[in-house]
A and B are shown apart, each in its own frame.
Chain A
Amino acid sequence: MNEIIAGILDMVRRALNPTVVTKAGAVPQATWREFYPDMPGARLYMLPNSNPQTDVRYIAPPEIPAWVMQAHQYLSMEFDRLAGIVDPGALGKKKQVPGGDTIEQMREMLNTPTQLESRYGELFLRDVGVQAMSNVFQYFELPMRLRLLGKDGISLEDFNYEGPNLIPDHVTREDHWKNFSMMITPGSLLGSSRDREKQTAINMAAKGLLPLQYLWSVLELNPKQLMEMLKQEHEMGIGAKAPKPSGQSAPKMTGGQKTGNV
């Protein structure tokens, strides 16, 4: 592609600075050396027998065949397809403007290799994770766990005779990590999968099929902190109203139920 573009640019330059030719004996050598055809007001001294219309002329650059541009267009599209590049300009020509997550999903759909790559990435991380899991048992001592996780980092095993560590006394310490398995959810590496998960959670929560605190955790919000803040707002009488407990108001009735004409 770069060859084609560079070649076309060379043609452009040749068109803007065309080659000038003359025949021997038409123009004196000294005059020809001082002649700049692109200079405004350039002057050329010709010999008596020569004709300016025929003996001095521009050479037009060669025409680029149409199939060169077609090849370039094909290569561009093919490269974009292989690289998974989405053209937002082309999407803007549609009557509907897609959202960011839609573009992300389209890019992943267009670029099937990306999905394969992400799967290989997940396999890689699983190999890493198994070793990381063992390393946590072996190397993460209680003070560091407390620093990282607070009281959530304390285990009952820390108070064993052999402790503080995450390993029970009665097991072979080197093999304890084998009691655990590690999994990385397929497809979780790509950003769009998380968007889809969020959207599904929002839809389910709107229908009352999902606990609110679970929704918050899916939306990567802090459920504990949000619950505290909501409580405070309710006590202060501001913010969103708390939902009424069930059974505190009369059920809605249809017209027939009200009149008795069922």
Chain B
Amino acid sequence: MDFLPVGPHYGSDSDGENAHYATGNQGEDRQKYLSGLEHWRESAKEEAYKTADLNPEKEAAARYMRALGGEYWDRRRAKYKSKVFDNRLNNSRITDLSLLTQTRPTIDISTKIDAYKGEADIVSKVIRSEWLTRDMDAEFIRVNDITKLNGTGFWKIGAASPGMMQAISCGPDSVFPIQPGFHLQNSTAMLYKTWKALSYFRNKFPYGCAGIEKELSDVEQGAGGAAQFTRPKEYPEYTWERLSPAMRRSVGIRIGSGDIGTSVFKSLEMQEYYVDDPQVNESKNKVLMRHPYLPLTLYNWWYWVNPGERLYPRKRLLVFAGRRLMYDGPAPFWHGLFPFATLRLNPVPWSFWGLEVSRPATS
């Protein structure tokens, strides 16, 4: 992974509302910063995809999905031969998942400080309430289902003012640990990748959306290529993504043109990088770490950094829409953890990735 350039931070003479950009935001300095970020993003992405390739279930998941969908027999099987199929695998999957339908884990939040016991009770009740009202029990079933199929599943855990919790179930195709330890929180960085509509970026990042349609058209062209030609197994995903449409035509596998809609769903690839960035404040003044545009009264995760202290003690967040940088600043969570949790139902000691649970039954 390349060197990650120092992100924006703000001078200590600022009152917070009109903070000036301490690292410079114009001309050559800005271009250098963006260029450095581009190099870092490419190398981080490549490393993330290579780590994902180490997942032993990556190629097998498609086979499991076909088996669960009842596509057991080879298409070339003679028509006169029986194609009866007892879908015991799906039956056992449903039986297993149904065990989780009444989960209400006994959650206990406690504190050793008597004065805080009331707060512990409130927090506990809020979590229980959110568990039911946000259908987290159903989401828990979903992440179990994903994990049984892929060996590893994730929750992306979010929250927002004035009081909302969210858990999104993801598979290894959306969440990519970079340089992971056995525990996800030991990683150097995490990449979360998904697709969003243009309106999402316009609403969430109105200050950085000028000309973002260019990214959309690029992606649209790429998606058009993908609709016609799909990646051969021997090509890593990061290599495939870098190929021009012409190269994809020459090396890819042709599939039906009507399989994937290309012009109907205009969307942009959103990448969120959460980075454990060790950089420190090397200046002689304390600096303000904040959202570049929002007033400080609207959020509570801004902070001051003294000289010599870490600029990002609670992780750094970079958001890209396609190749365009949307946000570079502190992560918006006080807990200072990567906002993900990993579920592995069949973990193995030699790999971060777990094995698929149905493997013994399907092999």
Q: Which of A19-27, A30-38, A129-137, A252-260 contacts B (4 or more CB under 8 A)?
A: A129-137
Contact A184 B105 (CB under 8 A): yes
Contact A138 B301 (CB under 8 A): yes
Contact B108 A185 (CB under 8 A): yes
Contact B84 A5 (CB under 8 A): yes
CB distance from B346 to the nearest CB of A (A): 8
Contact B343 A120 (CB under 8 A): yes
CB distance from B164 to the nearest CB of A (A): 7
Q: Which of B117-125, B174-182, B195-203, B208-216 contacts A (4 or more CB under 8 A)?
A: B117-125
CB distance from B165 to the nearest CB of A (A): 6
Give chain B interface residues in 120-151, CB to chain A under 8 Å: 120-123, 125-127, 129-130, 133, 140, 143-144
Main secondary structure of the interface of B (DSSP, over half): mixed
Contact A189 B103 (CB under 8 A): yes
Contact B343 A84 (CB under 8 A): no
Contact A129 B107 (CB under 8 A): yes
A125 and B345 alpha carbons, distance in the complex (Å): 13
A133 and B303 alpha carbons, distance in the complex (Å): 21
A82 and B130 alpha carbons, distance in the complex (Å): 35
* A130-B337, A131-B333 known; A120+B159 contact, CB < 8 A: no
State whether the Cβ of A112 lies closer than 8 Å to any Cβ in chain B: no
* A79-B361, A185-B108 known; A155+B118 contact, CB < 8 A: yes
Contact B109 A133 (CB under 8 A): yes
A113 and B143 alpha carbons, distance in the complex (Å): 18
Most interface-central of B123, B161, B314 (chain A CB within 10 A): B123
The 8 A CB mask of A156-186 against B (1 = contact, 0 = none) is 1100000000101000011101011111110
A57 and B300 alpha carbons, distance in the complex (Å): 90
State whether the Cβ of A124 lies closer than 8 Å to any Cβ in chain B: yes
Contact B102 A188 (CB under 8 A): no
CB-CB < 8 A to A166: which residues of B? 119, 122-123
A173 and B108 alpha carbons, distance in the complex (Å): 22
CB-CB < 8 A to B161: which residues of A? 139, 141
Contact A117 B105 (CB under 8 A): no
A173 and B339 alpha carbons, distance in the complex (Å): 19
* A1-B86, A5-B84, A177-B335 known; A185+B105 contact, CB < 8 A: yes
A134 and B123 alpha carbons, distance in the complex (Å): 9
The 8 A CB mask of A237-259 against B (1 = contact, 0 = none) is 00000000000000000000000
Contact B335 A180 (CB under 8 A): no
* A10-B82, A181-B111 known; A145+B103 contact, CB < 8 A: no
A2 and B77 alpha carbons, distance in the complex (Å): 14
State whether the Cβ of B99 lies closer than 8 Å to any Cβ in chain A: yes
A122 and B165 alpha carbons, distance in the complex (Å): 19
* A85-B92, A143-B162, A182-B107 known; A152+B125 contact, CB < 8 A: yes
* A133-B127, A134-B333, A139-B164 known; A180+B120 contact, CB < 8 A: yes
Most interface-central of B84, B115, B314 (chain A CB within 10 A): B84
Contact B125 A180 (CB under 8 A): no
* A79-B88, A138-B333, A153-B125 known; A180+B157 contact, CB < 8 A: no
CB-CB < 8 A to B126: which residues of A? 136, 140, 145, 148-149, 153
Out of B84, B112, B122, B336, which one reaches A6, CB within 8 Å? B84
State whether the Cβ of A194 lies closer than 8 Å to any Cβ in chain B: yes
Main secondary structure of the interface of A (DSSP, over half): helix
Contact A84 B92 (CB under 8 A): yes
State whether the Cβ of A234 lies closer than 8 Å to any Cβ in chain B: no
Contact B343 A124 (CB under 8 A): yes
A138 and B144 alpha carbons, distance in the complex (Å): 28
A73 and B320 alpha carbons, distance in the complex (Å): 55
Contact B360 A82 (CB under 8 A): yes
CB distance from B162 to the nearest CB of A (A): 4
State whether the Cβ of B344 lies closer than 8 Å to any Cβ in chain A: yes
State whether the Cβ of A205 lies closer than 8 Å to any Cβ in chain B: no
Contact A130 B102 (CB under 8 A): no
Contact A134 B335 (CB under 8 A): yes
Out of A125, A141, A173, which one reaches B163, CB within 8 Å? A141
CB distance from A240 to the nearest CB of B (A): 29
CB distance from A50 to the nearest CB of B (A): 30
Which chain B residue shows the least CB distance to A123?
B343
> Which A residues lie at the B interface, using CB under 8 A?
1-2, 5-7, 9-10, 13, 79, 82-85, 107, 113-114, 116-117, 120-122, 124-125, 127-141, 143-145, 147-149, 152-153, 155-157, 166, 168, 173-175, 177, 179-185, 188-191, 194
Of all A-B residue pairs in the complex, the 10 with the closest CB atoms, nearest first, are A144-B163, A83-B92, A135-B159, A134-B335, A188-B106, A185-B106, A140-B163, A9-B82, A127-B341, A6-B82
> Which B residues lie at the A interface, using CB under 8 A?
72-73, 81-86, 88, 91-92, 95-96, 99-100, 102-113, 115-116, 118-123, 125-127, 129-130, 133, 140, 143-144, 155, 157, 159-165, 167, 300-301, 303, 314, 333-337, 339, 341-345, 347, 357, 360-361
Query: 26 pairs across A/B with beta carbons < 8 Å?
Result: A2-B73, A5-B82, A6-B85, A9-B82, A13-B82, A82-B361, A83-B96, A84-B95, A85-B95, A117-B357, A120-B343, A122-B105, A124-B143, A131-B339, A135-B159, A136-B122, A136-B165, A138-B159, A138-B301, A140-B126, A140-B163, A152-B122, A157-B119, A166-B122, A168-B115, A183-B109
Beyond A132-B165, A144-B164, A175-B334, 6 additional contacts (C-beta under 8 Å) are: A6-B85, A128-B157, A136-B126, A143-B162, A148-B125, A177-B334
